[in-house]
Structure 1
Amino acid sequence: MKYIIFDFDGTLADSTAVFASAWNTIAQKYKFKGIELKEIESLKKLSIAERSKLFDFPMYKLPMILPQFYRLYRQSLNDVHLYDGIKEVLMEIDKKGYKILIISSNSQENILEFLKLNNIHCVSKVLSSTRIFGKDKVIKKFLKESGITPSEVFYIGDEQRDIVACKKVGVPIIWVSWGYDAIEVVQQEEPEYKVNTPQEILNII
């Protein structure tokens, strides 16, 4: 094993409140349905398609919305927080000699600024997927450019789409339970590993 790749939102960073606030600003502008924080837990049990329908949001508008969304997100970076125990796990992985990457649908600019704000210096590279369902292409390109095989990598993420992307390229995935997708959504994709606390990640890698 050479590389440990992390998703960002819902895996490393708890951005729930910021996501909701940014979405509500956009929803008000474009007449979509807003989110109440009390709805978050129930939303985790819905697929992206089901959430889209619930909020009267046509998925084809996503490319138009995402740049605005992440600009709003950046304005509230101070309200995004690391999950408890994540920083210690990152430091331990770094000590073990693994290279740490982040591959996310969030913008590279947002993630790099967040890492700086939180004094995290062990992440060697941040890659951004410009398409919400395009992580497999980013992972595949990274593997090719790095000259490594899927078996030399672990991906750690929280969403169904993370698992689907990893299955496409043959990269084993550790699904984390504290993120945006509940077990009811992801279990049909059969992730290789499931963890309920950051510390459990160290028992696998």
Structure 2
Amino acid sequence: MSIKVILFDFDGTIADTLDALVNITNRLAVEFGFKPLNPEEVPLVKTLTARQLIKKSGISIFKIPPLLKRVKLDLRQEIQRLSPIIGMKEALEQLKDEGNILGIVTTNSEENVRLFLNQHQMEELFSYLYSETTIFGKNKVLKKFMSQYNLTSEQVIYVGDEARDIESSKKAHIKVIAVSWGFNSPEALAKHNPDFLIHHPHELIETIRQI
């Protein structure tokens, strides 16, 4: 199959935002009524799915939408100081040079993503930037994206760092590359049976060539 469009998650996949997101959510913990995360808990949290993490935190499901809105607003103040995952920019440049069409489908805000891409001279690498707030319905976002741009599932592959990215891709009937450098641990990702599991951005190039 010739991949025409490679879609990427943003947080944890392209941008190294994990520490910033942990710090922001911890600052908001008291206001939104959930337990802050201790540094020693991070390895455990990386084994949890989004649903398991929400349950562990004790936050009310009704507070999640306003919490996500606040997190994205606070992240805007820090986004230009954050860095891409080491080796990611170079991998993206090579993928584009080899004729692939690249895009981003994210639950982060479009403004945050564009600020980051501009800061690191990466915006021209991407033909698509699609942002929509959702926690568990990313498969619907992917399907909506494909419908909007008249793409079939055979033309698209998704690259993400969470178990929910794998689940959503499978529901959208597209191939998925899971990356172990983001939110979920390699072991947690492997349990969800991605089509590919890689451990460094340079592996993206050969993986895409194999498909």
TM-score > 0.5, shorter chain as reference: yes
Aligned match of 1:140: 143
Match of 2:44 among 42, 45, 48: 42
User: How far apart, CA to CA, are the structure 2 residues paired with 1:134 and 1:106?
Assistant: 14
Cα gap change, 1:145/1:52 in structure 2, threshold over 3 Å: closer, same or farther? closer
Does the alignment pair 1:200 with 2:191? no
User: How far apart, CA to CA, are the structure 2 residues paired with 1:73 and 1:190?
Assistant: 31
Cα deviations across residues 78-112 of structure 1 (Å, max 9, x unaligned)?
34211110000110011011111000111111101
Cα deviations across residues 23-69 of structure 1 (Å, max 9, x unaligned)?
01210323321123332222101222222232221233211211111
Aligned match of 2:27: 25
Q: TM-score, normalised by structure 2?
A: 0.92
User: How far apart, CA to CA, are the structure 2 residues paired with 1:38 and 1:17?
Assistant: 13
Match of 2:94 among 88, 92, 95: 92
User: C-alpha displacement at 1:170, in angstroms?
Assistant: 0.6
RMSD: 1.4
Aligned match of 2:68: 66
Partner AA of 1:56 in structure 2: G
Same amino acid, percent of matched pairs: 33
User: C-alpha displacement at 1:188, in angstroms?
Assistant: 3.0
Partner AA of 1:64 in structure 2: P
CA contact (8 A) 2:32 2:59 kept: no
CA contact (8 A) 1:17 1:37 kept: no
Summarize the alignment of residues 105-116 of structure 1 with structure 2, pairs less than 5 Å apart: 105-116=107-118
Q: TM-score, normalised by structure 1?
A: 0.94
